[in-house]
Structure formats: C-alpha cells, structure tokens
Amino acid sequence: MSAVPVYRWRLAPEGLATFRQLRALGLRPAGQPVVAQLERPRRRRGPLVAFLYRIDLARPVRPMTPARWAALERANAARRVCPECGRDAGYRIPASLGTCSPCAYPEAAAA
C-alpha cells in the first residue's frame, strides 16, 4: 500500500473532505480509497487523525427505504434486550456492560 500524504490540521488542500464533512454535504465516499490524512497534534497523546476523501468522486447518500428503516428498527430493538434476563431494558445496552444495569450491578438493585 502506498503512503498517503499527511497534512496538518486545517491545512488540507481544496477538494478534500472528511467523512463527516461529506455527510454534511449529503455525500458519501462511495468506496473510494483514502487520499490523504489530517493530523492534529495533542500534548500528552498521539495525534488525532482524520482521513480525507475526494469530493468530486463522492456520490449522494442513498435514501432510506422502508425496508432499511425496518431493519434499523429491528437492530436497535435487539440491542435493548438484556441477554442475561431477557427483558427490554428501555435503553440501548452498552457494549462495555453487556447486560442491563440491574444485571450488571445486582448489589445496587437489591439496595
């Protein structure tokens, strides 16, 4: 793989955008490779990195169809069900816990 150019924060050339900037324009990368990256230095950790894509190769975001909305609703509903107790938690269960709060912290629920 060839190395991509690295630009400092806010110094990227015209015609390049990050994924979020493309989304704000109603576009998507459409499978194009990363053409450059931005690096923002930080004091105590490694730099923040953002990948850049060409705006002229980006395509419009695909509209959500009723089938895609239904699939998204099913996926979100599955993330609300606790695998431990099988109940709907009423919120999306965090991956860090893996279970609903009462199952993750039974001593707090008993108090």
| Domain tally, the chain | 2
Task: Tell me the average pLDDT of the chain.
Answer: 92
Q: What is the mean pLDDT of the segment spanning 91-101?
A: 91
Taking residues 98-104, report their average pLDDT: 90
Assess if residue 93 is contained within a domain: yes
* Distance of alpha carbon 67 from alpha carbon 64, whole angstroms: 8
Pairwise CA distance, residues 74 & 66, whole Å: 12
Mean pLDDT value across residues 48-70: 96
Same domain, 34 and 73: no
Is 1 a member of any domain?
no
Encoded amino acid at 55, one letter: I
DSSP state for residue 13 in the 8-state scheme:
P
Output the pLDDT for position 38. 94
> Looking at the structure, do residues 78 and 54 belong to the same domain, yes or no?
no
Structure pTM? 0.68
Strands 6-8, 36-40: parallel, antiparallel or unpaired by DSSP?
parallel
Q: What is the DSSP annotation of 32-57?
A: PPP-EEEEE--SSSPPEEEEEEESTT
pLDDT per position as a tens digit, 76-90: 999 999 999 999 999
State the residue range of the domain holding 38.
Answer: 6-60
Domain-embedded: residue 78: yes
